[in-house]
Amino acid sequence: MEPLTTGAVAIGTVLATKALEKIGENIGDSLSNKTKQFIAALKKQSPETVTAIEKAPEQPLDYGQAVLEVEAAAKKDPEVNQAIQELTAAAKAEPNPKLAEILAMPNLEKLADKIGMVVMPGGTGNIQNMTF
């Protein structure tokens, strides 16, 4: 997988994991641990990016910029690169079908809109039926 693609998957996984946990979905321990490891490694290289990711979807995230910053951090720091690779592998291995459905979204900004509808108080999005 290209670094930009893995960076996008990593960000998508963090956001999807956050959304699924908020609505009470079970996420495997491996994926949860890999998500935390990715965030910790990224925070050393790009704390602003981590802050922006953690505030999404409540505050809009510039996904294109976030992916570029994650990619840059991965090129600078082998620990970030390794964390991205491990998070991507854990996401692919996660048995929760809702995570796979979320990560299959072709457009991260539409993904963010859908996640925002699900996790915000009074949200009406249905994570099982993601159509745009």
- Extract the residue ranges of the chain whose pLDDT is less than 50: 1-4, 109, 115-132
What pLDDT score was predicted for residue 105? 66
What pLDDT score was predicted for residue 50? 95
Alpha helices in 46-94 (DSSP H): 47-55, 63-76, 78-93
What pLDDT score was predicted for residue 106? 58
Report residue 92 as tokens: 């692919």
What pLDDT score was predicted for residue 67? 87
